[in-house]
Amino acid sequence: MVTEHTSSSPAQVLVASNRGPITYTLGEDGTLDARRGGGGLVSGLSAVDDKLWVCAALGDGDREAVRRGVGEPGVRMLDIDPEVHADAYNGIANSVLWFVHHLLYQTPVEPVFDAEFRRQWASYETYNRAFAEALAREAAEGAAVLVQDYHLALVPGMLRALRPDLRIGHFSHTPWAPVDYFRLLPDDIAEQLLHGILGADRAAFLTRRWADAFIGCCTEILGGTGRTRIGVHGLGADADFLRRRSHEADVDERMAALREQVGEDRKTIVRVDRTELSKNIVRGLHAYRTLLETRPEWRERVVHIAFAYPSRQDLAVYRDYTAAVQSLATEINGAYGTESWTPVVLHVKDDFARSLAAYRLADVALVNPIRDGMNLVAKEVPVVSDHGCALVLSREAGAYEKLGEDAIVVNPYDVTGTAEALHEALTMSGDERSGRTKRLAEAATALPPQQWFLDQLEALRQE
């Protein structure tokens, strides 16, 4: 069953995503507490006043808010059956589509597309259909609808069948798999996913590389992209917000605490990630350990500040990965730490102010994902860095497309090479580091979130 808030008038601009801009928590006394989220999409959509955001009710608090008719203007939460949502979100979106696009499968043993997969795929279809039907009901004649990400890949095709008058866009925030890897999926599922996105007038991606991979899949499997136009919009950092927020009192407090943990006259290597398999945190720690082994002059002179915020802990593979990160950090500290020096300062509790403090302190930023649609951390650190920061960047991050020229680029699988890159970054002269940081910040903020969203909307309306 799907229930939703009703609106008084049809919307001219609609956005659909799994997660919305607000989350409700149900208190023991029955009260509902609302918390607004952040991120590039929330910032981007602030550029448009008259819009409707259609999203899923993700927890008990959200579902209770829908049932009570609690909400805020411009947000429509869909109360999708929790089991259907769990199958669609964890079973398919995060355990299949995410793994395909980030090339994460251990192919000798996975994936296995069996009857259980087909059962979960049916839930994914049901979940997408709920969004398509809600959008069809809420949209004004000829409205613009922007559908977000791999969770809702079938929505454009379903919505096109219901409302051919609409201007429909789909945006992929992840990489897109190369065709040989995409064809791990059952043939009918691969075709269904492509047809789903091709229901849009326009399909857009974070980089030209991901767009070309999508075109390659469509060409190989379907014979082309049909009438769907393909676009690229490289989401950038919100410079004004970051610079303002990074100098507020709570950030200054956390900087003081981090400085105390680091100690006097030591350099810092900073990473800020969710404990997502694709972020490659474990190999990053191995590279740091290799640096300490092969370049003993850095012992007692550098600290690795590693923020690894737990992600998707309802999936066993993610819990295991988080535990592996913690275990390796403990191992490095045990092997190399002294009474006055802790080589790895690891934090696993999400704290945005502390992340900004680390950005400001960083001498080196390590961003080494196996594969990443963009990676905004790579773009944010140069913007708020106090004294300039050398960026060690994986060539498999979408951010590499614009930042690669002024970063120290690494193969994310090459631990030895990453250790050498860290040494190069730590020994970079102040003038060179300052010049690179300035150029990185300019490239990183070329398309801030509001303009990123407005560009998509304008391109969709011009199709």
Q: Residue 8's CB: how many other CB atoms inside 10 A? A: 5
Dist. CA 103–CA 330, nearest whole Å: 28
Which residues does 139 contact at the CB level (< 8 Å), separation at least 6? 10, 11, 14, 145, 163, 166
Q: Which of 378, 207, 181, 357 is nearest to 279 (CA)?
A: 378
Q: Which two tokens stand for residue 213?
A: 């991979």
For the chain, the helix, strand and coil percentages under 3-state DSSP, each to the nearest 5: 50, 20, 30
| Both tokens assigned to 79 | 């109360």
DSSP H stretches of helix in 263-367: 281-294, 316-336, 352-361
**Cα separation of 447 and 395, whole Å?**
20
Q: Residue length, the chain?
A: 463
Amino acid at position 198, single letter = L
Q: What angle (nearest 5°) sits at the alpha carbon of residue 124, between those of residues 43 and 152?
A: 25
User: What phi, psi does 66 have (nearest 5°)?
Assistant: -65, -45
Give the pLDDT score at 40.
60
Instruction: Provide the residue-wise pLDDT of the chain in tens; the chain has 463 residues.
Output: 333 334 468 999 999 999 998 888 888 888 888 887 766 667 666 667 778 999 999 988 889 889 888 888 899 999 999 999 999 999 999 999 999 999 999 999 999 999 999 999 999 999 999 999 999 999 999 999 999 999 999 999 999 999 999 999 999 999 999 999 999 999 999 999 999 999 999 999 999 999 999 999 999 999 999 999 999 999 999 999 999 999 999 999 999 999 999 998 999 999 999 888 999 999 999 999 999 999 999 999 999 999 988 777 777 888 888 899 999 999 999 999 999 999 999 988 888 999 999 999 999 999 999 999 999 999 999 999 999 999 999 999 999 999 999 999 999 999 999 999 999 999 999 999 999 999 999 999 999 999 999 999 999 998 6
Q: Where are the alpha helices (DSSP H) in 223-298?
A: 239-245, 249-262, 281-294
pLDDT of residue 181: 98
Residues sharing a CB contact under 8 Å with residue 115, sequence separation 6 or more, in sequence order: none
The Cα–Cα gap between 123 and 21 comes to: 24
Task: Evaluate whether 153 touches 182 at the Cβ level (below 8 Å).
Answer: no
CA-CA-CA-CA torsion for 185, 187, 190, 193, nearest 10 degrees? -130
Is residue 184 helix, strand or coil?
Answer: coil
Number of Cβ atoms within 10 Å of the Cβ of 358: 26
Question: What pairing do the DSSP bridges indicate for beta strands 267-274 and 202-205?
Answer: unpaired
Residue 445: per-residue pLDDT = 96
pLDDT at 350: 82
pTM: 0.93
Q: Are 318 and 309 in contact (CB under 8 A)?
A: no
Cα–Cα distances (Å) from 2 to 100, 289, 334, 416, in that order, read: 29, 51, 52, 52
Sheet containing 408-410: order of strands: 344-347, 302-309, 267-274, 364-367, 390-394, 408-410
String of DSSP letters for 369-402: -SSBS--HHHHHHHHH-SS--EEEEETTBTTHHH
Q: What is the largest CA-CA distance in the chain?
A: 69
Q: What is the dihedral of CA 432, 437, 443, 447, to 10 degrees?
A: -170
Q: Do residues 237 and 442 make contact, with C-beta atoms less than 8 angstroms apart?
A: no
Pairing of strands 75-79, 139-148: unpaired
Of the candidates 263, 265, 209, 261, the one whose C-alpha atom is nearest the C-alpha of residue 232 is 209
Phi-psi region of 302 (alpha: psi -120 to 50; beta: other; left: phi over 0): beta
Phi, psi of 392, rounded to the nearest 5 degrees: -100, 115
Please, which residues bridge with residue 147 across strands? 16, 170
Q: Which residue has the tokens 């014979």?
A: 223
CA–CA dist 133, 39 (Å, integer) = 27
